[in-house]
Structure 1
């Protein structure tokens, strides 16, 4: 994937590792959106990305996600 929209970022040092990123990607896929998790070594973070123009997209809430779960991409 040459270009991607960043839908969410999660610190790699989190106690849960990549799980939060994987959970967001799964929720997005269940809604019919393309999403995958990649590791950004430069920022030491897991990114949830989708094919598209290179830009950061803020995912504030995801349908079917727990009410307290909010995901924000870093700018």
Structure 2
């Protein structure tokens, strides 16, 4: 059995078709208002209380978990 011979253009097309293209999804910019340690005895309650106080002030704050630093972040999306 012989090995097929491809032109440079055919080989480039074959190489490109075998790669999976993945790009990170675009995330809206966000501002971290405050960080709270996830090991706090009350868990995420301090972060939720802080975010609720900001929402009462008209700031659309929400709490997310940052697994890399093991902390709760109170963020505002779309702010810079």
TM-score, normalised relative to structure 1: 0.67
Aligned positions of 1:25-40 closer than 5 A = 25-40=51-66
Pick the structure with more strand per residue: 1
CA shift for structure 1 position 3: 1.9
Aligned residue for 1:48, secondary structure, equals strand
Work out which of the two has the higher radius of gyration on C-alpha atoms and give 1 or 2: 2
Look up the match of 2:45: 19
Aligned positions of 1:1-75 closer than 5 A = 2-51=28-77, 52-53=79-80
Aligned residue for 2:53, secondary structure, equals helix
Look up the match of 1:60: none
